[in-house]
Amino acid sequence: MVSLITAKRLSAFALLSPVHRLFSSASHSVVPNATSHSGSQSSNPLPNQPNVDHETVRETLSCYSDDWKRRSSSSTGSRPIATSPTPPRPSTRCWTFLRYVTAHLVNEAIATFHRLEEFNLKDEISFCNLVDAPCEYKHVVEAHELCFLGKNKDLGFNVNDTKIHNMILRGWFKMGWWSKCREFWEEMDKKGVKKDLHSYSIYMDIMCKSGKPWKAVKLYKEMKKKGMKLDVVVYNTVIRAIGVSDVRILVLGYLGR
């Protein structure tokens, strides 16, 4: 154990020995000239001193390496640092809208979306992120006004898309406004908006949470009849709806006795 420690100390001293030799060789020539009052010597006599061992200087400098590229690649996830400005990713724009909406600054989020046109970033993905952010944090009224109440003249995107309607429907669901959810669901039929798997999943959950689980089972049968490919969310929702329906039947039957 002692020999191992001694070996480590000796190896560390061996690494520092070039530096030690450099300063020891330079100290004999620098110090006397620094204390000289003749004024004939220059203020920095080190490069002109014949006692400097240039081989030692080269050996000392070779002990150091430029690890800037290695540090930059490790800090950026093994990717080189971009030498030219790159546009922000859609996730960055999404978080920008979310930050504004969580601070109840919906108008500022909309203004930020319009400013994206200056940087050629105003696209459909940004618009979907803008609509989804207020719906996520209970500002669905503003999102609904933006899309359907005449404030979308200069948006340049199709607001009668199924994805946009699903976001608004989920926003009403998060608010717990069940009558508004039903009204919006019927409005989708009037507009001819095609309802997909996510539309039915959201509305089935609405039916369960609003105390009408048997309607969720009815929606499930409607989806099966249309030949839609169901996922685990739909099955979990319908199982919960059946369980709640059976409990209600048992409770009502017990109270009716």
Q: Where does 149-231 have alpha helices with state H?
A: 162-175, 178-191, 197-209, 213-226
How far from 132 is each of 110, 138, 147, 155, 189, CA to CA, in Å?
12, 10, 11, 15, 21
Q: Which two structure tokens, joined as six digits, stand for 218?
A: 């009815």
Q: Which two structure tokens, joined as six digits, stand for 34?
A: 């620094």
pLDDT tens figures, 50-79:
577 778 877 777 776 655 555 555 444 445
Spatial CA neighbour of 184 closest among 164, 169, 202: 169
Quote helix, strand, coil % in the chain, to nearest 5: 70, 0, 30
pLDDT tens figures, 16-51:
444 444 445 444 444 444 444 444 444 444 555 557
d(CA 104, CA 232): 34
pLDDT tens figures, 198-246:
999 999 999 999 989 999 999 999 999 999 999 999 999 988 988 887 7
Query: In this predicted model, which residue has the larger pLDDT, 92 or 81?
Result: 92
**Which residue type occupies 19?**
V
**What proportion of the chain, given as a percentage, has pLDDT over 70?**
62
Place of tokens 């048992």: 250
d(CA 81, CA 171): 40
pLDDT tens figures, 93-139:
788 898 999 999 999 998 998 888 888 888 888 899 999 999 999 99
Delimiting residues of CATH 1.25.40.10 domain(s) in the chain: 90-255
d(CA 144, CA 174): 14
This model's pTM is above 0.75: no
d(CA 57, CA 113): 59
CATH 1.25.40.10 describes domain 90-255 = yes
